[in-house]
Structures are given as structure tokens and as C-alpha cells.
């Protein structure tokens, strides 16, 4: 009997083969993806801890230093009310991340559920869900958001004012929650169809696999099969889509705030800061450059990270 080469013997010390570990190794070799990941982590840190580390409160005004140019005292300068632009940009990072994470989570939850049901059960669920998806995607995003905000903001604000008059609870005077509620709801309403289409396509491919047939033969219910076998095997492309969707949600929120149908002042948002800076950029360019540069950097970082995840999770990416 010929001896087996020692190099072919798998020792107990060697880590087991793992899709996620191999994907992480491939991701680390992609320099642009690593750059995107680093920027995303820095922005996430700024969103969580930045407002506690900034030298000024984002609402603090210094009328003696209005429209000051960038300096050591004010890294990004000040606005027309003497507020520190750097502090407002950092707090705007929290607004952008909060909207992006919540909106993407809601949209993914809706898309994952509807896409899995449509792909696994087929007609009539597939026909109805895909019709709903087509209708939602056919409506212009901006028009839908404007209609939702214009029709619901005033009644909700009036109701909160009536509740304040009846209870004198200061919570009902914090209308920022109305802005966030409408932004979360309207953006999630226009963001779920791509996730539903993606999950449906994955499930249509997965449901004919032998292990699904074996699970059905063992008597497992359809919902158990979807939860244990279908959804976990469809997560790879969904993770890539989510990474890109976070950046898209940030840009959308900024665009809606720029148009006045998103988060409104005095709460800092990159969109309303860009809107304010655009009116005076010829005289005070720093008011436009600072939030626009951070928004552009965040968008590029999420794009690089999404491309890197696509290459890392794609089995053909290492060929």
C-alpha cells in the first residue's frame, strides 16, 4: 500500500472550510472594499459617539462668529447663525445612519417576507405580490414621498398639538419624531420592491434543490423549510444588496431633506445643510462643501463595500 502524503492529511488544528471565512479573506484582498469598510466604520463611530466628542453643541449659536471660514476653532467654519458646521455635520451623520439603517431594515423585512412567499408558494401569491411590486416601482419615488408627507404631516402635527394641550406632556411638542416617522415610512414604502424581486429569484432557484425535497419528504412544514433552509441560502446576494441599499437610503434621505420633505431644521441633516449652503455657496463655499463632501464620501464607501462583498460572496469571484 502506498503511503499517503502528509500534506493531504487534514489535521485537527486546521480550521474547517467556511463560506464566510473564505469570503472575509477575499474581501480583505480587495483594497477598495477595505477602504469602503473603514470609511463606513468611521462614519458609524461618528454617528454613535461623535455628538459627545464634538467641541460644540450642534444648536449652539455664536452671532459674533457668523459665516466664519474654516479654522482651528471651527474646522468646517460656521453658518449664518454662528453654529459650528463640523458639529452639525457629525450630528447629521447620526441622522443619516439612523434613517438608512431603520429604512433598510424595514424594507428588507418586507421584501424578504414577500419575496420568499412569492418564490416558494408560487401562484396565486406570486402573481399578486409581483403585481404589487410592479405598481410600487411604477410610481415616481419623489412624488410618492411628497404626497405622503403633504397629506399626513399636518394631521399628525395637529393631533400632537391637541395632545399637548390636553396633557401638557412636552413629548408632544417634539415634532422631530413626526419627521422621522414619515421619512421611515415613505422611504421603506418605495425601497422594498428590489429586495422582494431579488429574494424571489433566489427562492425560485433554491426550492428545487434536493435538500428542499428531502425536507418536504420528512414532513417539515413549509414555513419551517423557508425559515431553516430557504432564507439562509438566499442571504448572500441579499447582504450585497443591503450594503448598497444603505448608501442609497442615505442619498435619498439627503435628497428629500434638500427638497424640504425629509428631516427639517433645526435637526441637522446633510440634505438640509446642502440646501442651506447652496443659497450662499458663492460667498461661503464651506457651507456647501462640507456636507456635500461627507455625503459623497459615504456614498462612494458603500458602493466600494457593496462591490467588494459581491466579489467575496460570489463563488466565481476567486477564479
| Separation of alpha carbons 76 and 88, rounded Å | 10
Query: Phi-psi region for residue 9, left (φ > 0), alpha (ψ -120 to 50) or beta?
Result: beta
Instruction: Please give the pLDDT value at position 145.
Output: 79
Instruction: Please give the pLDDT value at position 18.
Output: 60
Closest alpha carbon to 141 in 195, 197, 186, 95: 186
| Separation of alpha carbons 153 and 161, rounded Å | 12
DSSP per residue over 234-275, as a string? THHHHHHHHHHHHHHHHHHHHHHHHTTSSSPTTS--HHHHHH
Contact yes or no for 318/26 (Cβ under 8 A):
yes
Q: Which residues contact 90 (CB under 8 A, 6 or more apart)?
A: 46, 50, 51, 53, 54, 58
By CB atoms closer than 10 A (0-12, 13-18, 19+), residue 59 is middle
The position carrying cell 428545487 is 208
Instruction: Please give the pLDDT value at position 7.
Output: 46
DSSP per residue over 137-191, as a string? HHS-HHHHHHHHHHHHHHHHHHHHHHHHHHH--GGGG-THHHHHHHHHHHHHHHH
Contact yes or no for 94/51 (Cβ under 8 A):
yes
Closest alpha carbon to 312 in 112, 15, 32, 104: 32
Encode pLDDT of 145-180 as tens digits.
778 877 887 788 888 888 888 888 887 777 777 777
The domains found in the chain, sorted by start residue, are: 36-318 (1.10.3720.10)
What is the greatest pairwise CA distance in the chain?
92
Instruction: Please give the pLDDT value at position 8.
Output: 46
Distances (CA, A) of 58 to 46, 54, 157, 308: 14, 9, 24, 35
Quickly count: other Cβ atoms within 10 Å of residue 202's Cβ.
21
Encode pLDDT of 51-84 as tens digits.
788 888 888 888 888 888 888 888 888 888 888 8
pTM: 0.77
Instruction: Please give the pLDDT value at position 9.
Output: 46
Query: Phi-psi region for residue 154, left (φ > 0), alpha (ψ -120 to 50) or beta?
Result: alpha
| Separation of alpha carbons 227 and 176, rounded Å | 37
Sign of CA dihedral 259, 262, 266, 272: negative
Tens-digit pLDDT profile for the chain (319 aa)?
Answer: 445 454 444 444 555 556 567 777 777 788 888 898 899 899 889 888 887 888 888 888 888 888 888 888 888 888 888 888 888 888 888 888 888 888 888 888 898 888 888 887 878 888 999 999 988 888 887 788 778 877 887 788 888 888 888 888 887 777 777 777 887 788 888 888 988 888 888 888 887 778 777 877 877 777 788 777 777 777 777 777 887 788 888 888 888 877 777 777 777 888 888 888 888 888 888 888 888 898 889 888 888 888 787 777 665 544 4
| Separation of alpha carbons 300 and 307, rounded Å | 11
Grid cell for residue 44: 458609524
Amino acid at each position: 500500500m502506498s503511503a499517503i502524503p502528509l500534506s493531504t492529511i487534514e489535521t485537527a488544528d486546521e480550521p474547517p472550510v467556511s463560506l464566510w471565512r473564505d469570503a472575509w479573506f477575499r474581501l480583505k484582498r480587495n483594497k477598495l472594499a477595505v477602504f469602503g469598510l473603514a470609511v463606513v466604520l468611521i462614519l458609524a463611530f461618528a454617528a454613535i459617539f461623535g455628538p459627545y466628542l464634538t467641541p460644540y453643541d450642534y444648536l449652539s449659536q455664536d452671532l459674533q462668529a457668523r459665516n466664519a471660514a474654516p479654522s482651528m476653532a471651527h474646522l468646517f467654519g460656521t453658518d449664518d447663525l454662528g453654529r459650528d458646521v463640523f458639529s452639525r455635520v457629525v450630528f447629521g451623520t447620526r441622522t443619516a445612519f439612523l434613517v438608512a439603517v431603520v429604512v433598510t431594515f424595514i424594507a428588507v423585512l418586507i421584501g424578504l417576507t414577500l419575496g420568499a412567499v412569492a418564490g416558494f408558494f408560487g401562484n396565486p401569491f406570486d402573481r399578486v405580490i409581483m403585481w404589487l411590486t410592479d405598481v410600487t416601482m411604477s410610481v415616481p419615488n419623489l412624488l410618492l414621498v411628497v404626497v405622503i408627507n403633504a397629506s399626513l404631516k399636518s394631521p399628525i402635527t395637529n393631533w400632537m398639538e391637541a395632545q399637548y394641550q390636553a396633557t401638557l406632556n412636552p413629548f408632544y411638542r417634539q415634532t422631530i419624531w413626526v419627521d422621522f416617522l414619515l421619512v421611515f415610512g415613505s422611504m421603506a414604502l418605495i425601497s422594498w420592491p428590489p429586495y422582494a424581486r431579488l429574494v424571489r429569484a433566489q427562492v425560485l432557484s433554491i426550492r428545487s434543490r434536493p435538500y428542499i425535497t428531502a425536507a418536504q419528504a420528512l414532513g417539515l412544514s413549509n414555513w419551517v423549510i423557508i425559515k431553516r433552509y430557504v432564507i439562509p441560502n438566499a442571504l448572500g446576494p441579499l447582504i450585497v444588496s443591503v450594503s448598497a441599499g444603505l448608501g442609497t437610503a442615505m442619498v435619498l434621505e439627503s435628497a428629500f431633506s434638500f427638497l424640504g420633505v425629509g428631516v427639517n431644521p433645526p435637526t441637522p441633516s446633510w440634505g438640509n445643510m446642502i440646501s442651506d449652503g447652496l443659497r450662499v455657496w458663492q460667498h461661503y463655499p464651506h457651507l456647501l462643501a462640507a456636507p456635500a463632501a461627507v455625503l459623497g464620501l459615504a456614498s462612494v464607501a458603500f458602493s466600494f463595500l457593496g462591490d467588494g462583498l459581491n466579489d467575496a460572496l460570489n463563488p466565481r469571484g476567486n477564479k
